[in-house]
A and B are shown apart, each in its own frame.
Chain A
Amino acid sequence: MELLHNIALGFQDVLTPTLLFYCAVGTTVGTAIGVLPGIGPLVAISVLFPLTFHVPPDAAIIMLAGIYFGAEYGGSTASILLNLPGTAANAVTCLDGYPMARQGRAGVALFIKTISSFFGGCVALIVLIVLTPLIVKVALNFGSPEYFALMVLGLLAAATLSVASPAKGIAMVILGVLLGLVGTDVNSGQYRYVFGIPDLADGLDLVAVAMGLFGVAEITGRLVSRDFTESPERVRWRSLIAGREDMRRAFFPMIRGSIAGILSGILPGAGPSLGAFLAYGAEKRVSKTPERFGNGAIEGIAAPEAANNASVQAAFIPTLSLGIPGDAVMALILGALIVHGIQPGPSMIPQHPELFWSLVASFWVANVFLMFLNLPLIGIWVRLLSIPYSLLYPAVMVFICVGVYSLRLSVVDVASVLVFGAVGYFMNMCRLPTAPLLLGFILGAPLEEHLRRALIISHGELSVFVTRPIAASILGFCVLLMLGTVVGSLASSARRARLRRSAENAQ
């Protein structure tokens, strides 16, 4: 069968010292980054991004991907042991992981989370193998109207799904798109929003914006809340093996979590946090004993962990098949491909099938590495957690500054980190979501390009978006999503008004 043949070829490529080395580096660094609170995968990927220039494309991608996967694996270690999530998606794991640790069952929690993550990853990989070529086949018929519609869907999803206030999300997306238009307009050569600064003529740098919005804002936020004094208890190796009862309990949550994770990974802007939240909520609703959740229910770890690992792997599906990144990490990974002269999009896989299949094989290898990294090396990760934050964050600041500067040797880029760090802090203060802004920024220029092209081809007729079936159905879905969100938010504000009134009456 051709599928097996391709997979075999992929493994043949991967089981070479070079690729295995970069996979190992990526997963180890990623896990360490994930364990350490205050540094996210985005910072790590940005810092190691320059390395990918000097390395063949498959090695580059697998290293970056390894960091991404590793960070999700590692982040939950801190969640369980310290109640401090390493990444946003691991926040849910705190809810039952930390109570389990306090009950002396930290080892079991860590074991189950590793197994669940591995399971989620494998399932996601199977979906990736099956779904991606199918999507590519459909997408080869895509024209600019379809791309535009897809990007609108992605932006809308990002703006409305994991956000408290859809209006805020939409505002951030629009702002992001405007920021994405900073630079030179390709069609006319006109400088837009450049303010006479030459370095801005190529636009704002993605890494600088991402580091400022997420990295700097996160560090500042953590310094403000100043909650990092606890040190974790030691975890003995023997305590890691979970009993049969625990494994049995974790089994179906793993499956349900994987599904939630895959769905959230495929949808742009949704991401592992959403998947983990959904998985946890679903488990609680499905459980016959929901009161156990929050007190150390094993299902409360198995499902979200399977979900977040499945999600980060499934995020590669739209990235590799359509060339549309779901978040900043995927955008950077696409950037690494572009650096090597590989044009992302539906034609990428048909033109470079060996790249796709070796990536597939290396994802599986990464999952295996992570499983073996996490179990025996738990002791080391735990010791990492006791590094005082006051030493850690200045080091991270230096890495951020040098990392960004090393990309284009531009002081303007470093200044961008400064500006967006302040902006990010302001946004966090006003509870404005930052992720939609980043996604808008990434998709801004391509969005305009496809809109323009669609309208040129249709001679200015907006109806082109309605007459073409795929574009029409995607946009129809957008309308439904908008309606659903508006109705939902109206309903919840009505509910809140009712509650407020009854609370006032009760006084």
Chain B
Amino acid sequence: MKIPKHCDKPPGSHEKFDVMGGMAIAAVGVASAFIAHGYAFGTLRRMGPGYLPTVLSVLLIVVGIIVAIQRSDRDEEAASLAIRPLIAVLGSILAFAVLVRPLGLVIATLVTVPVAAIAEPKARPLPTAVLAVGMAVAISLIFVWFLNVPISLGWW
């Protein structure tokens, strides 16, 4: 049963991503075990804060290795790494996070919209600017005026 997909790539080239994923999982497991090692372990009867994290970390390492060595070619297209949308989207969140406290909600919103719009090469400056202003107004109305969330609109 084929679900309509929107990109067509050669099948089978997915394996290196599987291996990468599995190794990433195992690596997280190792890091987590290392950190959990510092917490008190305790006994079964009185489980300490480190008990479950340690056990789970070890399990994670094992399963990560299984994922890496498992052959699961299912005629799936390989994923594509698209840098531009990724940077734009993540960048817009970063912009908001950095700006919202010092400069307030309005400026943060006004910056977030254009940064996100970078992902779309066809985006034209005027509609983006209108959208940015519109969103700033809408957000202020919805969150600050209607919901009474205590976010400062500006830098005061």
Contact = CB atoms under 8 A, between A and B. Distances in A.
Contacts of B131: 391, 394-395
A184 to B, nearest CB: 9
A431 B113 contact: no
B30 interface: no
Contacts of A178: 32, 53, 56-57, 60
Nearest to A293: B1
A84 to B, nearest CB: 9
Point out which of A50, A185, A427 has the most chain B C-beta atoms below 10 A from its C-beta.
A185
Tell me if B's interface is mostly helix, strand, loop or mixed.
Answer: helix
A414 B97 contact: yes
B13 interface: no
A83 B6 CA distance: 10
Contacts of B43: 460
A325 to B, nearest CB: 20
B44 A430 contact: no
A308 B52 CA distance: 36
B97 A418 contact: yes
Interface string B11-25: 000100110111011
Interface string A364-396: 000000000000000000000000011101110
B56 A174 contact: yes
Tell me if A's interface is mostly helix, strand, loop or mixed.
Answer: helix
B75 to A, nearest CB: 10
Interface string A155-193: 000000000110110110011011001000101101011
Interface in B50-68: 52-53, 56-57, 59-60, 63-64, 66-67
Given A188-B49, A192-B53, A406 B147 contact: yes
B67 A171 contact: yes
A145 to B, nearest CB: 14
B92 A397 contact: yes
Contacts of A397: 89, 92-93, 112-113, 116
Interface stretch (A26-34, A105-113, A222-230, A470-478): A222-230
B6 A94 contact: no
A340 interface: no
Interface in A411-468: 411, 414-415, 417-418, 421-422, 425-432, 448, 451-452, 455-456, 459-460, 462
Contacts of B57: 178
B14 to A, nearest CB: 7
Nearest to A177: B56
Given A83-B4, A175-B25, A456-B45, A411 B63 contact: no
Contacts, number: 211
Nearest to B97: A414
Interface in B83-132: 85-86, 88-90, 92-94, 96-97, 100-101, 105, 108-109, 112-114, 116-117, 119-120, 122-123, 127-128, 131-132
Nearest to B105: A402
Given A398-B139, A455-B47, A448 B52 contact: yes
B149 A406 contact: yes
B35 A401 contact: no
A170 B25 CA distance: 11
A85 B10 CA distance: 24
Point out which of A389, A431, A448, A456 has the most chain B C-beta atoms below 10 A from its C-beta.
A431
Given A185-B39, A185-B49, A223-B88, 17 more contacts: A50-B143, A50-B147, A54-B147, A91-B3, A175-B25, A219-B89, A223-B82, A223-B119, A227-B6, A280-B1, A395-B113, A397-B112, A406-B151, A418-B90, A428-B79, A430-B24, A430-B79
Interface of B: 1, 3-4, 6-7, 14, 17-18, 20-22, 24-25, 28, 32, 35-36, 39-40, 43-49, 52-53, 56-57, 59-60, 63-64, 66-67, 70-74, 76, 79-82, 85-86, 88-90, 92-94, 96-97, 100-101, 105, 108-109, 112-114, 116-117, 119-120, 122-123, 127-128, 131-132, 135, 139, 143, 147-151
Interface of A: 50-51, 54, 83, 91-92, 94-95, 98, 164-165, 167-168, 170-171, 174-175, 177-178, 181, 185, 187-188, 190, 192-193, 216, 219-220, 223-227, 280-281, 389-391, 393-395, 397-402, 405-406, 409, 411, 414-415, 417-418, 421-422, 425-432, 448, 451-452, 455-456, 459-460, 462, 493, 496
21 contacts: A98-B4, A168-B67, A170-B63, A178-B56, A178-B57, A193-B53, A223-B85, A394-B128, A394-B135, A397-B93, A401-B93, A401-B108, A402-B96, A402-B151, A406-B151, A411-B97, A422-B86, A422-B90, A455-B44, A455-B45, A496-B74
